[in-house]
């Protein structure tokens, strides 16, 4: 299983890949699960946790309420008696098991949303889950045994957050995308401009590695060059 070690000796395991990534952050005693994947991949998630000998989870942190991240939240909450944490702007969607359809950030996805948005909406339903803790601003993770914090990085969705571990590794949810070769732009966003501003928030953390929930880890350089290109476009558009 792919894993990385931070400067304080925490290990981050990628416990789910395929449709979307989910990560386990562990210091050997405490375990945090970040995102939970879709119901379809529940068995793979459970298999990974069992293989690592994980029998308790101190928290499940959801980067946002889209079905490919929150799909197993209710199940994990019950099975492991785990508190579920989510930004307060996302808690209502989690409770309803449905996320509003985000806008497209590029020609193709704008076309898809315009023509098939309603259909997409019905495919994005998932098992509803009542959050145990919500937050609106930065949340420290020391009470869970980790040097780290949850950082609001809105734009992909209103309450999207990233998790900064050990000032070193960022689990960025869908604020960044690791699938396309020359861009970190996710194909969908509720507010593209806000999301681009969140990239600056991520760069300012001083972390060295950024793990999106889709695709491969990203370097500072990849995010910086995409940020510079897109922020220029926003400035030009606002001037014209």
Q: What are the residues binding Zn ion (CB under 5 A)?
A: 20, 66, 68, 174
SS3 of 98-164: the string is: CCCCCEECCHHHHHHHHHHHHHHHHHCCCCCCCCCEEECCCEECHHHCCCEEEEECCCCCCCCEEEE
Nearest distance from C-beta of residue 126 to Zn ion, angstroms: 12
Which one, 64 or 74, has the nearer CB to Zn ion? 64
Fill in the DSSP letter of residue 215: B
Q: Are strands 169-173 and 161-165 parallel, antiparallel or unpaired?
A: antiparallel
Helix/strand/coil for 189:
strand
- Smaller CB separation from Zn ion, 20 or 48: 20
Altogether, the residues listed in the chain come to a count of 240
Whole-number minimum distance, CB 240 to Zn ion, in Å?
Answer: 30
CB of 27 to Zn ion, least distance (A): 27
- Residue whose CB is less far from Zn ion, 66 or 192: 66
Q: Least separation, in Å, of the C-beta of 236 and Zn ion?
A: 27
| Whether the Cβ atoms of residue 65 and residue 25 lie closer than 8 Å to each other | no
By beta-carbon proximity to Zn ion, the closer residue of 58 and 84 is 84
At a CB cut-off of 8 Å and minimum separation 6, what does 191 contact? Answer: 154, 155, 158
Nearer to Zn ion, 145 or 186 (CB): 186
Q: In angstroms, give the least distance from the CB of 66 to Zn ion.
A: 4
Judged by beta carbon, residue 69 or residue 74, the one nearer Zn ion is: 69
Secondary structure of residue 185 in the 3-state scheme: coil
Q: Report the helix count and the strand count for the chain, using DSSP H and E.
A: 7, 14
- Nearest distance from residue 68's CB to Zn ion, in Å? 4
């Amino acid at each position: 299983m792919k894993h990385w070690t931070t400067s304080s000796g925490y290990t981050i395991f990628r416990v789910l890949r395929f449709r979307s990534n989910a990560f386990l952050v562990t210091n050997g005693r405490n375990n945090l699960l970040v995102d939970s994947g879709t119901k379809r991949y529940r068995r793979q998630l459970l298999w990974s946790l069992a293989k690592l000998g994980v029998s308790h989870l101190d928290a499940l942190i959801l980067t946002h309420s889209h079905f490919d991240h929150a799909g197993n939240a209710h199940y994990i909450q019950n099975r492991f008696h785990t508190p579920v944490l989510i930004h307060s702007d996302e808690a209502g969607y989690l409770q309803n098991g449905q996320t509003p359809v985000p806008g497209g950030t590029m020609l193709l996805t704008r076309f898809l949303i315009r023509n098939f948005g309603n259909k997409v909406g019905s495919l994005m339903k998932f098992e509803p889950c009542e959050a145990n803790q919500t937050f609106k601003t930065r949340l420290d993770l020391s009470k869970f045994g980790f040097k780290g914090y949850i950082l609001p990085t809105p734009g992909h969705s209103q309450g999207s957050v990233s998790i900064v571990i050990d000032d070193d590794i960022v689990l960025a949810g869908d604020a960044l995308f690791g699938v396309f070769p020359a861009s970190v732009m996710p194909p969908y966003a509720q507010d593209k401009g806000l999301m681009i501003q969140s990239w600056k928030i991520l760069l300012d953390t001083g972390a060295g590695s950024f793990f999106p929930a889709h695709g491969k880890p990203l370097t500072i350089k990849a995010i910086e060059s995409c940020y510079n290109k897109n922020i220029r476009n926003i400035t030009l558009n606002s001037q014209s």
